[in-house]
Amino acid sequence: MIPTPDPAYRVGDSVLPGDDVSAAVRTGDVSKIVLGPGLRRLGSQVVVSRAGVLKMPKNNVFVVDAYQKRYIPVKDEHVVGVVTNASSDVFRVDIGASVTASLSYLDFEHATKKNRPNIQVGDVVYAKLSTAGRDMEPELVCVDTHGKAGKLGKLEDGFLLTCSLNLIRKLLSVNCPLLQALGQKWPYECAFGMNGKVWIKARSVKETIAIGNAIYESELMDNAQIKKMCTNLGLVIDSM
Amino acid sequence: MKETPYSNIEKNFLKTALSERKRLDGRSFDDRRSVRINFGKEYGCCHVALGDTRVLAQVSSEIQQPKSTRPNEGQVFVNVEFSPMSAEHVEPGKPSEACVEVTRVLEKCIRESKCVDLESLCIIAEEKVWALRVDLTVLNMEGNIVECASIAALSALAHFRRPDVTSTGDRLIIHDASEKEPLQTALHHFPICLTYAIFNKGKQIVADPTLIEEQTAEASLSVGMNAYRELCGLHLGGQALSDHQSILKIVQKAGASAAEIVQLIKKALAEDEEARTKNEVVGLTACIRAGRITTLCDQRMKIKINSQSIQEVAENLIAQRQQNKHTKFDDEGNAVEFTPSEKIIVSIGENSAELQDVDDEMGGETDEEMKEDLSDNNEKNQSNEEDNDSDDPTCVVHLPANRRETIKNQPRASVIQTKITTKNQQRTSKIEPEITTIDDSDDDELEVVQELTKEEKERMKKVETLVLDDSEEEETTTLTAGEIETPTNNPTPDSKKKKKNKNKNKKKGESGRSQDSNARQWYSKNAW
Amino acid sequence: MADMSGQASGEDHKLRPFYCELNVLSRPDGSAIVTQGETAAIAGVYGPIEVKPNKIHIEKATVEGIYRPKSGLPCVSDRLCETTLQNTFEAAVLTSQYPRTLISISVQEMQDSGGLLACAINAGCLALMNSGLSMKFLVAAVHCMINKTGEVILDPDNKQLKDSCASLMFAFDNVDKNIVSSSTHGRFTEAQYQEALLRCRTASTEIFQLYRDMVKKYAPTMG
């Protein structure tokens, strides 16, 4: 009755919730199609569930990329969280999700019932989600499957930034030059949580702030711009 | 739901930074964030943004019986509410402890300092007086709510008009605004609550604390102060100070800031009044369109992604970065300095604006020529600065300390990085007639746009001057107007990329401009 | 549809200018400010966040709509607005995806020049879009009135509303353009209702197109 705008969406188009993108996802090999966040099946249709851009990061994998600040836990993702409570056998860790995640005292390297990790309320931990799902309380671990801590565990000094989830994904993508370019300038450590928290630690306050800025600024830059920014940022800080 | 506190490392980092005399957002210890005041269409309504903290105020009046102890005085109530949208932990309904505290501080400052002439609110002694109620709604909590709310409350009170009343013996006639001009409230003075956060037993005192500073501070002191440097209230929260000297020091500083803010309020009031007498569009709607309450969406997107406090540091640092970019190397390998050409903002339909070169010739010039022009512009700008001081509501240019603040604000309010060269300018002018023919109702909007353009233009000039000034004194912390966000704005000789960007921006601009008319066109197509 | 063409040719079929900006507040997960003519509303969305035990739903998210007037405490009619908002958004959000959580949508009145509820719904919907929460569909609300001579006037302002004998608000979804919620005041005939409905429904396309343009506009920023 009322004409709707051209329904033939393609990968790369901006889409709205309720748009039917069945045609777009069925273009290639249709034996197996993976629908990522922002897409859902409704009968035989594939329907968009959030406003953003339809993307195909891998073959036959489709997602709708949208701006997001709030984290929804996903199993096996690495997050940076703040310890909000320490009870008899678990820490409660705020990872920015709807509920706090639990982190057992025993899920640290070399931890035993006697040998407890030295962590206080307000400390920051870098951990991996061992359990997550819409019906489960998220659980964190600070060890890998071999019982080794690796890079996980308590983070000390430095500063914590909070940014959008899109930025984290962008910086962690393989072809993003920012972290490497920054590393060529100054030595620094960082931990990226998929929950939109970044921990950075550099030699001085000034450098930490500089890196933080570079991270924020890179949100809207393409790779060439990022490289250029790093070169310039380096000049400024070095001359100070 | 409890408020999630900041982590230990964030607090420690802040303390270390402060001990090095650095604030996370690049301000100096006495700098305040920018204040923006916008009045609503109705009298007594205003929206104040102090950095990212936002408060909406509305004054309403009703006739009541006076208190028996004060039979010939009206009443003023202050009511603060934290909107559930202001923070995650705020629950609708019951006022939180913090809310009660803010209310009390403001009551002390506004009601008990007798800034409102209560006797003028009396209609019939012992029987009928006006009761004014100031409703303050906190929309976004990013620290220093007290100060933001007090500015909002005073602006709204000063803006408010109550209906005129005539009493004929036993009857009271309340006149409608159309019958009799409504009356302004008499304010003796403007007591502003200025807040300071105290760190390290009074060794570091910062003005206008952000959220993280507020939560990390040992104590916070709110000083009620009017433009005459009279104290109207003092509220100390947290652990006590170590000595009385600190308080005296704070009060000293507060005097100057208070005078500045009062001036700002008065300027905003005068502007609103002028717009009303000229029958221009007033109200929050108009402000939104002009991009004053909130800036353009694209740009906002980018800025808001940054967390509040750091974001400003970012701007500051980028400033340094940008400054660096102004130096480029000429053929002999010597560093050559040049400034970007002057830009003006051209609004192109709702939610977008573009930068254009003020001087058409500038666009065609090579970098070397620009360099030569630098000195000329410099002089030009300096003379402009003095002329324009009174024109710009969002810029505070009173003290050198505020300069950086001013500059910092520029990009938010006005820079959407679209560089239009002469070529594109022709394009835009081509589009214009089309638009006007499609949609006649756009006409008055265009007027607004033009005014904005003028204002922005002046603002930009001013900013550039400031930049130049500052760079003489200290080399690092400056910003240039058009330069904040992407390096593409620089007149670097990377022509290929520039071109690409131009195209992109042009597209953006066009879609923004024709959006509304497109929609309408579309609609009529469908309807037929 | 045949009867539509006649009315659409009139001057009064247009909506007032609609402006919006997304992500205006730093704290909420999604926020938007919307102005329709001189009516303005600001909305902020938090979600999914922790829900109080007494409001918890095991199989779906609890959607909480909050509406705040500019001055004074919320009265009964404000509560009604709140319920309408809540019902509208509960239908629009894909609640089954976020069980045992809370999605809170608060809308603040900023300026009322008629059609505030419609403006509030549109602001809320844009804030939801900005938050990235999964939704079944988007909603667009259109307000209209029937004046004393029985004509339907679309999106009237305060002045026009003074001689209205009924005012109607409809919210539509963007898939089938069905009614998601409606709220009416005053007396009108069934024919008038049908006419108002059709007109509002056609006008909603304009708002949906605006939503689409908005997404197109900020899409490149997501890189």
**Residue spans per domain, chain A:** 13-65, 77-155, 159-239
* Amino acid A211: pLDDT: 85
Grouped pLDDT means (10 residues each) for chain B, 528 residues: 84 93 86 90 91 93 92 93 92 88 92 90 90 94 94 95 87 87 91 93 90 92 91 85 80 91 94 88 67 36 32 49 41 39 39 40 41 45 42 35 35 33 36 35 42 52 44 36 38 40 42 43 41
Q: Are B231 and B223 in contact (CB under 8 A)?
A: yes
B interface test, pick of A228, A229, A233 with most B CB neighbours within 10 Å: A228
CB contact under 8 A, A2 and C201: yes
Superfamily of domain C18-218, CATH level 4: GHMP Kinase, N-terminal domain (3.30.230.70)
Judged by CB atoms closer than 8 Å, whether chains meet at A158 and B476 is answered as no
- Pairing label, strands A14-15, B35-39: unpaired
Q: Single out the residue of B28, B33, B52 nearest to residue B204, CA to CA.
A: B28
What's the whole-number mean pLDDT along residues C166-171? 95
pLDDT tens, residue by residue, B149-188? 999 999 999 999 999 998 887 888 889 888 888 999 999 9
Tokens of A48: 């968009």
In whole angstroms, give the CA distance from residue B226 to residue B192. 6
Mean pLDDT score, C171-187: 94
Residue C143 has pLDDT above 60, yes or no: yes
Q: Is B207 helix (H, G, I), strand (E, B) or coil?
A: strand
Judged against a pLDDT cut of 50, whether residue A156 lies above it is answered with yes
Q: Identify the CA nearest to C118 among candidates C155, C91, C87.
A: C155
A151 vs A163: CA distance, rounded Å: 22
| Chain C residues inside the 8 Å CB shell of B445 | 17
User: Which residue in C68, C186, C164 sits closest to C116, CA to CA?
Assistant: C68
Contacting residues of A for B301, CB less than 8 Å apart: 67
Mean pLDDT over residues A163-170, rounded? 88
Nearest CA in chain C to B441: C17
Residue B456 has a pLDDT of: 54
| Topology (CATH level 3) of domain A13-65 | OB fold (Dihydrolipoamide Acetyltransferase, E2P) (2.40.50)
Which residue of B133, B302, B524 is in closest CB contact with C221?
B302
Amino acid at B101: E
* CA C172 to chain centroid: 9
Q: What is the DSSP letter of B110?
A: I
Q: Helices B308-326 and A223-239: crossing angle, nearest 10°?
A: 80
Maximum CA extent, chain A: 72
B446 inside 8 A of chain A by CB: no
Determine the residue among B4, B58, B85, B144 to mutate to test chain C binding: the one whose Cβ has the most chain C Cβ atoms within 10 Å: B85
Q: How far apart are CA C62 and CA B503, in angstroms?
A: 45
Confidence class of residue A210 from pLDDT cuts 50, 70 and 90? Answer: confident
Instruction: Say if residues B476 and B322 touch (Cβ distance below 8 Å).
Output: no
Could you tell me if C124 and C107 are in contact, meaning their C-beta atoms sit under 8 angstroms apart?
A: yes
Identify the band that residue A183 occupies on the pLDDT scale cut at 50, 70 and 90: confident
**Chain-chain contact of C71 with B133 (C-beta, under 8 angstroms):** yes
Q: Which of B19, B321, B511 to mutate to test the interface with A (most CBs of A within 10 A)?
A: B321
Residue in C134, C176, C210 to test binding to A, most A beta-carbons within 10 Å: C134
**Integer Rg of chain A from CA:** 21
Instruction: Name residue, tokens 């090579």.
Output: B366
C-alpha–C-alpha distance, residues B445 and A52, integer Å: 30
Single-letter code of the amino acid located at C37: G
CA distance C112 to chain A (A): 28
Residue A222 has pLDDT above 90, yes or no: no
Average pLDDT over residues A158-162: 91
* Residue B363 C-beta-side C-alpha neighbours within 13 Å: 17
Residue-wise over A129-140: b if at least 16 C-beta within 10 A, else e? bbebeeeeebbb
> What pLDDT is stored for residue B282 in this prediction?
75
A-interface mutation test, from C128, C199, C215, C221, most A Cβ less than 10 A away? C215
Residue C172 pLDDT: 96
Closest CB to C222: pick one of A40, A49, A53.
Answer: A53
Q: What is the mean pLDDT of residues A27-47?
A: 85
Q: Locate B163 and state its tokens.
A: 């209906």
Nearest Cβ partner for A16 among C23, C47, C215: C215
User: Hey, is the C-beta of B302 within 8 angstroms of any chain A C-beta?
Assistant: yes
For residue A135, what pLDDT is reported?
Answer: 85
Architecture of domain A77-155: Beta Barrel (2.40)
- Give the minimum alpha-carbon distance from C204 to chain B in angstroms, rounded to a whole number: 10
CA distance B72 to B51: 40
CA distances from B444 to A77, B126, B436, B449, C114 (A): 53, 50, 11, 9, 21
pLDDT single digits (tens) C84-123: 999 999 999 999 999 999 999 999 999 999 999 999 999 9
Taking any CB pair shorter than 8 Å as contact, residues of chain A touching chain C are 1-2, 5, 14-18, 38, 40, 49-53, 65-70, 72, 97-99, 134-135, 166, 170, 219-220, 222
What is the pLDDT at residue B211?
92
Output the CA torsion sign for C85, C86, C88, C93. Answer: positive
Res B244: pLDDT: 80
DSSP string, B47-63: EEEETTEEEEEEEEEEE
Q: Token digits for B336? A: 């050559």
For A146, phi and psi rounded to 5 degrees?
-95, 5
Torsion of CA A166, A171, A177, A181, to 10 degrees: 130
* Cross-chain Cβ contact A69/C132 below 8 Å: yes
Residue with tokens 């159309």, as numbered in its chain = B178
Residues B323, B226 contacting (CB under 8 angstroms): no
| Whether B16 contacts chain A with CB within 8 A | yes
Specify the range with the lowest mean pLDDT, choosing from A23-32, A37-46, B227-236, B305-314: B305-314
**pLDDT band at A180; cut points 50, 70, 90:** confident
Tell me how far apart the terminal alpha carbons of chain B are, to the nearest angstrom. 53
CB C107 within 8 A of CB B138: no
Q: Do A229 and B22 touch (CB under 8 A)?
A: no
When pLDDT is cut at 50, 70 and 90, the band that residue A176 belongs to is confident
The whole-number pLDDT of residue B61 equals 93
With helix as H, strand as E and coil as C, how does A118-178 read? CCCCCCEEEEEEEEEECCEEEEEECCCCCCCCCCCEEECCCEEEECCHHHHHHHHCCCCCH
The secondary element (H helix, E strand) that includes residue B167 is strand B165-168
Do the Cβ atoms of A124 and B8 come within 8 Å? yes
Partner-chain contact B317 A209, CB within 8 Å: yes
Q: Number of CB pairs < 8 Å for A and C?
A: 108
Which tokens in the block code for residue B361? 């010739």
The residues facing B48 across adjacent strands are B37, B55
| Residue with token string 């879009």 | C129
How large is the C-alpha radius of gyration of chain B? 25
Q: Please state which of the ranges A68-82, A184-198, B145-159, B297-311 shows the lowest mean pLDDT.
A: B297-311
- pLDDT score recorded for residue B435: 34
pLDDT of residue A238: 57
Decide if B7 and A122 are in contact by the 8 Å CB cutoff.
yes
Nearest to A18 among C49, C173, C216 (CB): C173
Instruction: Supply the mean pLDDT for chain C.
Output: 88
Nearest CB neighbour to C21, from listed B81, B142, B294 = B294
- Tell me how far CA of residue B42 lies from CA of A23, B514, C43, in angstroms: 51, 31, 21
Residues 485-524 of B with CB under 8 A from C: 504, 508, 511-512, 515-516, 518-520, 522-524
Does residue A49 have a pLDDT over 90? Answer: yes
Would you give the DSSP letter of residue B66? P
Written out in words, the top-level CATH class of the domain with range B28-286 is alpha beta
What value does the mean pLDDT of chain A take? Answer: 86
**Percentage of chain C modeled with pLDDT above 70:** 92
pLDDT of residue C22: 82
Whether residue C215 lies within 8 A of chain A, CB to CB, comes out as yes
Between the alpha carbon of residue A111 and those of residues A86, A139, C194, the distances in Å are 16, 17, 71
Residue C137 pLDDT more than 90?
yes
Asked if B526's CB is within 8 angstroms of A229's CB, the reply is no
Whether this model's pTM surpasses 0.80: no
Sheet holding B219-225, edge to edge: B204-207, B192-199, B219-225, B231-238
**Residue A26 vs residues A15, A158, B195: alpha-carbon distances, Å:** 16, 47, 60
Contact assessment for residue B428 and residue B348, using Cβ atoms and an 8 Å cutoff: yes
More confident residue, B388 or C217: C217
- Fold entry, domain A159-239: Ribosomal Protein S8; Chain: A, domain 1 (3.30.1370)
**8 Å CB contact between B430 and B438:** no
Strand partners, A154: A125
Determine the pLDDT at residue B444: 42
Tell me how far apart the alpha carbons of residues A128 and B329 are, in angstroms, rounded to a whole number.
48
Q: Which of A15, A70, A170 sits opposite C29 (nearest CB)?
A: A70
3-state secondary structure of B352: coil
